[in-house]
Structure 1
């Protein structure tokens, strides 16, 4: 009887953790920005479309291959701009999501990444992330 109660307690705790994890990732995702992209971030939008959108989705909402960048995890106080630079230059080991490691992005210059960051930060502001 005691073993059954312990087993049931463990199962309930595991289910609660899974539900919390699921809610944290799904409910925290923001709506994508709508409307016209401002002229000052359109270059970044193009660079994002060419180099990032295949995995991170159109307007940064994520795909089955990569996480949404329009998410509170990627707001500037948690992932500063330098984190985006390092990810593009070196790749990054998976640590928040279960999409696998991100490879480095070949052919993208630091100036390109700056433009991409400006676009992603605009998307995040439009979605109310910060």
Structure 2
């Protein structure tokens, strides 16, 4: 019998015995890779920003309290961003791109994910119209104190 044929047949027999183990290993490694990459997609970018807090107006102070009670759990202390939501003290949220009404609608209706990878924001029906106005004032005061002002939005 040909030695080469025997070696090939022996190798094939060895692989047959290990094939189930190799398949399980491939599935485990592939599954781990998918889970790691999926978790990267679901979490937002490193969104926490340093926020300078100015002396706030009376309505800004009310907004600070309402924000802490209703928004900070996701958007972070002083709207600096967190694990559940993006920073609102960011140029994307300047009044030329997200008018005050956009914040009100976000609280009333929720928002589908579009700028960041934090997932959809659910509606916040517990936030009153007065608190919404105060929250928007608070966020705008923070933005101005951090160099974020009106910039006309241009579609790209």
Same fold (TM over 0.5): yes
**Residue of structure 1 equivalent to 2:94:** 75
Q: Which residue, out of 138, 143, 146, partners 1:124? A: 143
Matched, 1:90 2:131: no
Contact 2:74 2:84 (C-alpha < 8 Å) held by counterparts: yes
Larger radius of gyration: 2
Distance 1:125 1:35 in 2: 9
1:111, distance to aligned residue in structure 2 (A)? 1.6
Q: Which residue, out of 115, 133, 142, partners 1:114? A: 133
- TM-score using structure 2 length: 0.62
**Unmatched runs of 5 consecutive residues or more in structure 1:** 1-24
Where does structure 1 differ by over 2 angstroms across 4 or more consecutive aligned residues? 34-40
Distance 1:58 1:49 in 2: 7
Q: Which residue, out of 29, 35, 55, partners 2:74? A: 55
Distance 1:63 1:30 in 2: 9
Contact 2:54 2:142 (C-alpha < 8 Å) held by counterparts: no
**Residue of structure 1 equivalent to 2:61:** 42
- TM-score using structure 1 length: 0.74
CA RMSD, 1 decimal: 1.9
1:36, distance to aligned residue in structure 2 (A)? 4.3
1:112, distance to aligned residue in structure 2 (A)? 1.1
Aligned length: 105
